[in-house]
Amino acid sequence: MPLNLPDRLPAIELLKEENIFVIDHSRASAQDIRPLKIVILNLMPLKITTETDLVRLLSNSPLQVEVSFMKVKGHTPKNTPIEHMKAFYKDFELMRDERFDGMIITGAPVEHLPFEEVTYWNEITEIFDWARTHVTSTLYICWAAQAGLYHYYGIPKYPLPKKMFGIFPQYPLYPKLPIFRGFDDVFYMPHSRHTEIHREDVLRVPELTLVAESPLSGVSIVMARGGREIFITGHSEYAPNTLDTEYRRDLDKGLPIEMPLNYYRDNNPELGPLVTWRAHGNLLFANWLNYYVYQETPYNINEIK
């Protein structure tokens, strides 16, 4: 089924070039189908890039999906035209009475700050709490995963001695879980972060289940409330060139950055990235939509072991 996106969203033309079928609101409203309503709280600085990355993955499903974008009042993006924000994003206050089948909350470039020092912390924790009563299942990505685990369950974050940067193997701990339907015994995920959470902190909380991890990048996916909350510490949504763009940006700024691990062909930036995560990224989002958003069935980990 096609994606139902806001009229004139830049991602539409970009995705059409990839042969992804999208329709605008006016055409979708003429169809007698109730689409899944997905809201994206996009905290990343390059809004259009993140929109395109996420919409690309949401398209890999037979379900019709209607996408909306939310923003917080406590932050004015510097890298996205104000006209784009006015055209496609709504403040949380204007959406608080709506209900959604699924929600995605992205990472944010604020991980160097204690959570309480983030300027929009009060608003985003209000959104976290709202999601529990207005959303069927929520995906928390990277910083949002750390923030959600801290807010709900008191899980602290820890600074890393150097940036976790590259593509790392991940291992499903409960391969029979629907989120891993069709997965191999190992899958790959991009990571780009300066902080981490520790598995022993997660394991101390009975409401949390560590469902995937890596010997190199640590905690990967944590699940709570039967899949109504899924916390992902990496970036399965990243496009092939995203880490390359970050790497060259930091080099140009003279920042201390090492080449992303397991990313370039023959570890040579001039040869470009070797993409190893895209298939499982598509599958992860498709499984989330199908088994945790559409079917609305909380999963008991103990019954699936």
Would you please indicate which residues are annotated as catalytic (active-site) residues? 142, 235, 237
What single letter denotes the amino acid at residue 92?
A: F
Residues in the chain: 305
Tokens 């209000």 identify what position? 126
CA distance to 100, 143, 262, per residue, from 195 (Å): 30, 9, 20
The residue written with tokens 């790959």 in the block is: 188
What gap in Å lies between CA 112 and CA 79, rounded to an integer?
19
Beta-bridge partner residues of 212: 172, 221
183 Cβ partners below 8 Å, 6+ apart? 172, 175, 280, 283
Hey, is 36 helix, strand or coil? strand
Question: CB within 8 A of 245, min separation 6: which ones?
Answer: none
Alpha helix (H) ranges present in the chain? 10-16, 25-28, 47-58, 82-88, 121-134, 143-153, 199-203, 242-252, 278-287, 301-304
- Whether the CB-CB separation of 27 and 47 falls below 8 Å is answered with no
